[in-house]
Structure 1
Amino acid sequence: MVKLAAKCILAGDPTVGKTALPRSSAATEPFPEELHPDNRGGSVVKTVPVPDTGDSVELFILDSAGKELYSEMLDKLWESPNVLCLVYDVTNEQSFTSCSKWLEKARSQMPGATLPGVLVGNKTDLASRRVVESAQTRAWALGQGLECFETSVKEMENYKAPFHYLAKQFHHLYREKLEVFQALV
């Protein structure tokens, strides 16, 4: 059994649900009241089992807070990420458009390296207010090499899937590097 550690950047505009996404699965009740819009960022540690391996990945999730004000501070925190989670609000077109900026910022930290990532559309419970269509986001994500998910943290729907995918991808990269190393020995 191997326990790996991965640095996960959680990025997106303010109020899209970034802070609530990783913290919800640790909560004892759906959508805990203490999860209010967060201007500070922060971090959460999640241990995610990798199916069919007995291994797990400890994701150190760094919340960007979505504020340009913290840009200089974030540059240090964003150094050498292993995985990326971009979050947008399905009721806010600008939050989806901003994902390009967040993706570019994350990839600039790892030029030429593979950075597994996911695009997460949150707030699907607000279906009547939806303005960002699934087909549009899937096409963009595919073009960027990202996996696409939709969630409702409030309704606790599909909120674990992005992290399971990221852990599996990180584990896969680890196994590939291990095989290369073993071939050299």
Structure 2
Amino acid sequence: MVKLAAKCILAGDPAVGKTALAQIFRSDGAHFQKSYTLTTGMDLVVKTVPVPDTGDSVELFIFDSAGKELFSEMLDKLWESPNVLCLVYDVTNEESFNNCSKWLEKARSQAPGISLPGVLVGNKTDLAGRRAVDSAEARAWALGQGLECFETSVKEMENFEAPFHCLAKQFHQLYREKVEVFRALA
């Protein structure tokens, strides 16, 4: 049984639900923050995720970062050397989806020379009548960027675990590939 540790950057525009997603994941669905509080700087959420069919687990250190440009200089230091990325947008806000490109570029610049596994998460699917971002468009963009794509409603506690389980599995796969490389060298 192996326990790995991965630094996960949670990125996206303000008010897309990054903090709510991290908090509800940490509490296994027991805690939904009803009032919005702007994240200033960074919050850290830690949770261990079992990797199916392996007996192994990945401890995700989820760095929930401020979405405001005002705090972007501070992010450079805090975002150094990420292992996985969780990009979040609001399905009712097309600009938040369009800005995922800049968040992805910023995150990848912190991990030069390595492939940064990640997921794209469309949040607030409970607001279906106000949807502005088509699921197929988001999925196509994510695939083009090498990201897995998920949709969730943190408020309704729907599908909030899947992105993090996917990240743990992706990170574990990278670990397995490195182990195989070292075995081949021996």
TM bracket (short chain): over 0.9
Which residue in the other structure is 1:96 paired with? 97
**Counterpart residue type for residue 18 of structure 1:** K
Which residue in the other structure is 2:72 paired with? 71
Name the SS of the counterpart of 2:150 in structure 1: strand
**Counterpart residue type for residue 152 of structure 1:** S
- CA offset at residue 32 of structure 1? 3.5
Which residue in the other structure is 1:164 paired with? 165
- CA offset at residue 109 of structure 1? 1.2
Name the SS of the counterpart of 2:8 in structure 1: strand
Name the SS of the counterpart of 1:85 in structure 2: strand
Residues 94-144 of structure 1 show CA distances to partners (whole Å, capped at 9, x for unaligned) of: 000000000000111122211100000000000011111101100100100
- CA offset at residue 182 of structure 1? 1.8
- CA offset at residue 35 of structure 1? 6.1
* Separation in structure 1 between the aligned mates of residue 113 and residue 58 of structure 2, nearest angstrom: 23
Relative to the length of structure 1, the TM-score reads: 0.95
* Separation in structure 1 between the aligned mates of residue 145 and residue 75 of structure 2, nearest angstrom: 22
Mapping for residues 92-131 of structure 1, pairs under 5 Å: 92-131=93-132
Over the residues paired in the alignment, what is the CA RMSD in angstroms? 1.4
Q: Kindly indicate whether residue 185 of structure 2 is the aligned counterpart of residue 184 of structure 1.
A: yes
Name the SS of the counterpart of 1:125 in structure 2: helix
The count of residues paired between Structure 1 and Structure 2 equals: 185
Name the SS of the counterpart of 1:25 in structure 2: helix
**Counterpart residue type for residue 2 of structure 1:** V
Relative to the length of structure 2, the TM-score reads: 0.95
Residues 67-107 of structure 1 show CA distances to partners (whole Å, capped at 9, x for unaligned) of: 21222211111111000000000000000000000000011
- CA offset at residue 23 of structure 1? 1.0
**Counterpart residue type for residue 81 of structure 1:** P
Preserved contact between residue 88 and residue 121 of structure 2 (Cα < 8 Å): yes
Preserved contact between residue 31 and residue 155 of structure 1 (Cα < 8 Å): no
**Counterpart residue type for residue 110 of structure 1:** A
Which residue in the other structure is 1:84 paired with? 85
* Separation in structure 2 between the aligned mates of residue 29 and residue 113 of structure 1, nearest angstrom: 36
Structure 2 residue ranges without an equivalent (≥5)? none
Name the SS of the counterpart of 1:126 in structure 2: helix
Q: Kindly indicate whether residue 137 of structure 2 is the aligned counterpart of residue 132 of structure 1.
A: no
Stretches (4+) displaced over 4 A? none
* Separation in structure 1 between the aligned mates of residue 24 and residue 60 of structure 2, nearest angstrom: 15
**Counterpart residue type for residue 100 of structure 1:** S
- CA offset at residue 40 of structure 1? 3.5
